[in-house]
Amino acid sequence: MGENPAKNHYAQLNQGEENEMEIFGYKTQGCRKALCIAGYILSCGALLLLFYWKPEWDVWANCIRCSLEEADIVLLRTTDEFRIYSRKTVTWISVSALIKSRLDYPGTAEEDSVFSKAIMKPSLQVKSIQVQRIRYVWNIYAKQFQKVGALEDHHTCSAIHAKFGSGLTCNERNVRKVICGPNTIDVPVIPVWKLLIKEVLNPFYVFQLFSVCLWFAEDYMEYATAIIIMSLLSIFLTVYDLRQQSVKLHRLVESHNNITVTVCRNKEGDSCFQELESHHLVPGDMLVLKEGKTLLPCDAILISGQCIVNESMLTGESIPVTKTHLPQADNFKPWRMHCAEDYKKHVLFCGTEVIQTKADDTGVVKAVVLRTGFNTAKGDLVRSILYPKPMNFKLYRDALRFLMCLIAFAAIGMIYTVCVFALNGEEAGEVVKKSLDVITIAVPPALPAALTTGIIYTQRRLKKKGIFCISPQRINMCGQLNLICFDKTGTLTEDGLDLWGLLPCERDCFQDIHSFPADHSLPWGPVFRAMAVCHSLIVWEGKIQGDPLDVKMFEATNWVIDDSSGHKIEGQGSTHATVVRPGPKASSAPVEGVAILHQFPFSSALQRMSVIAQEIGGEQQVFTKGAPEMVAMLCRAETGDNIQTAVTVAKNAGMISATNRVILVEANKIPGSFSASITWKPLEENKTEDYRGLAKAMGLEPRSPRVFTSAAPVQDDSPPTTERRIRLALASGQYHFAMSGKSYQIVAQHFRHLLPKLLLNGTVFARMSPGQKSSLVEEFQKLDYFVGMCGDGANDCGALKVAHAGISLSEQEASVASPFTSRTPSIACVPELIREGRAALVTSFCMFKYMALYSTIQYLGVLLLYWQLNAFGNYQFLFQDLAITTVIGVTMSFTGAYPKLVPYRPPSQLISPPLLLSVVLNILFSLSLQVFGFVVVQEQPWYSKTDIYSACLSVNNHMENSSSISSLGLHGMRDGAHGQTDNGYKSYENTTVWLLSTINCLIVALVFSKGRPFRQPIYTNYVFILVLIGQLGICLFLVFADIDDLYSKMDLVCTPTTWRISMVIMLAVTLAASFLVEEAVIENRPLWLLLKKTFRYHSKSHYKRLQRVLEQDSAWPPLNETFFSDSVAISVEGSMGGHSNPTFDSNEDAL
């Protein structure tokens, strides 16, 4: 073709969506594949393992670049900061069995669909890939992979009615079924062996396997066996947890995969009904919804009739939602664009339950299948659990750097070992074993098991407190949270609602407040009729169901709903209408009842709902209710303010103190223009207090203390004293911004440069849509905040998923994707989670530090003894590795979280000045201790290099076994020779260095076991204290005991009592120095703050930088000013600066 093979090599998949990816085309080359297979064999599988960890290397080694059209392998890369690669094989789907002649080729419904554009001729095959359970096919005309399993968005409303209103033909359905696959959300329970293999192939466990093999080669079987047992236990716990999650998810979705449905088939122009299993459904199928409850197995567009649906699976709230049919609009706009934000009121979502259907003139309720399988709303929820968004946490990056440092440290020791033993004529095999052994000493193989143990303990403590976690790696992240977003309704405020009162308006002025309950009922009038009919309530299972506000308002009328099948309405004939009538307790009314002829359900775009009603025997009327600001636009301008519910809740919750000012930020689009305006207005203090009192009377007191939810502007004639007080508060930074979701959206589009400054002090965000909540959380994350989100799982599921720590107060299916779920619907779980997260984070740091010191202490001791061609004996290694370090690693994490939260966080970086200084100083103390003991013991008068029994009076008992070290070769560092004779390990240096290093491990364990302010004091961890006391007692017994059999077994030699006391003194000095440095320097927060101030160190976080800039800006924030945008709206995806929030950061200067 003369085409460059690299042309069209790259494209984007799901452009603009959350799961956007880059896709690259590759073609397998035979010679490259043969060379790789040879490499697998020659490397004993090591190369294959490397390719398993790095799939991009596998593709680059086996394949050559080509266009996506020619590719048989594609390489996918995420477009986020992680740039994660994955490899997919291109598969071919044959439709030749379905298309045997031109007459069988897809018909009218297929002409402009991706199905017809994906079939290659003359082979009649479709090229496809599957990514995260979604199938993509190659569009031969657009030259790109496109998603299948969903109806195309380009269809207009009229086209959907015309093309799919009578159903698909059998041939069209069969072609779509083969290409799309079955309509199932199939989450098979992963076999244990697969989970086991995946876990075992983790790099940590591969390193452990290498270490164990080396130890078995050196007959160091005891510790090798112990590590195997520990690793198997850790793997078992992880696999068990993953298996339980897999089973739970499987049970969650399996009920929706096999439902019997009725579809409409188009046979030669005639429609017929057919029952089939739901997994046979394809996009474009016509569903017929019958009366009674129906569980929806797919997403579908309602095209005739009306449905009442329970969407608790999606929203978390068991409130019936009315769905209306898609209008037959005759225009060229795609149906979703035509319906705008209200398209959802025409869509029935998979997993939701149809509880009531109302047919129109056709007598049948019909819906066109919109999406199937994992393309559906429920499928998307399940995929978010199967493929969670990776989180960027410094601890995990620093952990890898930490291991790299240890490996570099080990490399130096390997070079030293090779030089020492090679120069002394040691055999090459022994030199290799000894040098490799240095790696297993410097890099602790037990580290992953120890870290896993700490997380498991924290997870269990959370479970006891009713907080469940499906993402354990997020627990450490909770220790860094510095901003929490709370949903207001149902989260900060009490569940349930009571009607406090009504403020009627007649003759252009407000009347007296009518309180509920009252001695006299509300009089008949327009307000009464609106309360009785302007709602979307239904009678379900004998109870009135619907929005809680609607329910309370309707119940206050004491009327009842008569939802019979048909009512004779004058001028309407017999029609299906809901009639409301006076109940037994209702006051007398001049009408028999009111019929609700037509409902226009609440529209998020219009922010209102309407009904057409007719008094029985009377005229038709229209009633409307909605958001205050929207209803105000439909009315004549009169006096009156909107009640500042959200601001009141924020003040009562302690988010806004009494001395702080609240500034309302209002942004509006200018009609007939592409520009917008933004205005800053302070809230009037006296009206805020009035509203607070009103809120208390109405029961809007919050349960306990950023709120997602409007405010009233101050009048321009504010007194000068108020203006001065406001300016004084602003100058001291004691102010908070409040804005609505509409203003937030306009600011993000037209005033992008102001958004960071507004979020800096933004505390109240009112009337936020679910998408705006998610966007706000992501904006904070871009600005270096660690964001937590707490909500009731209703319309905040997206925000719960994208936050660093999402805490759902609901156990509905909608909140399953949230990392944390609280069984108790109270925000009290938030401080509990932060406390446990901080404790877990500090425990991880302690464990890293201890493991670093333990391996370094052992590493230094071994290298010192290598200088004399000596080493620790097997039982000496075993005692340090198993009896000391393993037991400490298991019990150190028992320490619980401190019950009180402090106004600062633990360090987020493993490689930070305090932690590095702590590790470096303790390494120097250990080095000094061992070198001092190693050198000074050789200066003692009783020291003899050739006679290891010369120091004790009991030497006569051992004369027959005495021999010189020089006459014995070092037959292997851990050769397993454990007789009563000298095996080459025994020496005064060995005894001194081993005893000092062993007790030094206990010292660092004690010093590093931090208590307050993030963990409970160490003495509360009774098991750990008993372990340390027991280990210290055994070590001191080994120091002062002179039991021949015990010393011989442990490769120790007898030394004078004065030297033993000297070693204890050296250890005491080391303990005092280490403890003093840790407490007086490392844990001295004021000292580090002083050093930061002295050296003018400032945080690099974006919000901290912006905070310093705004402190110097006397013109910020503007007050009673209006700005205008001078350009058209920009993309909301643009980059942003940093910001801070003094409510959460005023006392925080984390190191």
Cis upstream peptide for 122 (omega within 30°): yes
CA 870 to chain CA centroid, Å, is: 51
Rounded CA-CA distance 730/1114 in Å is 9
Strands, E, within 396-555: which ranges? 467-469, 483-487, 501-502, 505-506, 509-510, 514-515, 538-540, 543-545
Report residue 794 as tokens: 């209703």
**Using an 8 Å Cβ cutoff, are 1119 and 730 in contact?**
yes
* Look-up of token digits 């359970």: 133
String of b and e for 1077-1101 (b: at least 16 CB within 10 Å)? Answer: bbeeebbeeeebeeeeeeeeeebeb
Rounded CA-CA distance 741/688 in Å is 21
CA 879 to chain CA centroid, Å, is: 41
Rounded CA-CA distance 1101/1107 in Å is 10
**Using an 8 Å Cβ cutoff, are 105 and 99 in contact?**
yes
Rounded CA-CA distance 396/324 in Å is 50
Written as one letter, the residue type at 436 is L
**Sheet of 320-324, strands arranged across:** 294-295, 353-358, 306-310, 320-324
**Using an 8 Å Cβ cutoff, are 559 and 580 in contact?**
yes
Question: Three-state SS for 43?
Answer: coil
How far CA 610 is from CA of 596, 616, 621, in Å, comes to 11, 19, 10
Rounded CA-CA distance 609/536 in Å is 9
* Look-up of token digits 């399940």: 382
Helix, strand, coil shares, percent, the chain, to 5: 45, 20, 35
Rounded CA-CA distance 972/426 in Å is 10
Which among 879, 849, 839 is positioned nearest to 1005, based on CA atoms?
Answer: 849
* Look-up of token digits 């021999």: 963
**Sheet of 144-147, strands arranged across:** 91-94, 125-131, 134-139, 144-147
Task: List helix spans (H) across 1009-1133.
Answer: 1022-1040, 1044-1049, 1057-1077, 1085-1094, 1102-1111
How far CA 324 is from CA of 291, 519, 613, in Å, comes to 16, 40, 17
**Using an 8 Å Cβ cutoff, are 870 and 990 in contact?**
yes
**Using an 8 Å Cβ cutoff, are 84 and 21 in contact?**
no
What is the DSSP annotation of 779-808? HHHHTT--EEEEE-SSS-HHHHHHSSEEEE
654 Cβ neighbours under 8 A, 6+ residues apart = 705
Side-chain half-sphere exposure of 626, counting CA atoms within 13 A = 21
Report residue 428 as tokens: 């090459």
Whether 487 sits among the annotated catalytic residues: the reply is yes
Rounded CA-CA distance 556/536 in Å is 16
**Using an 8 Å Cβ cutoff, are 629 and 743 in contact?**
no
Catalytic residue among 380, 487, 881, 982: 487
Rounded CA-CA distance 423/417 in Å is 10
Residues tagged active-site: 487
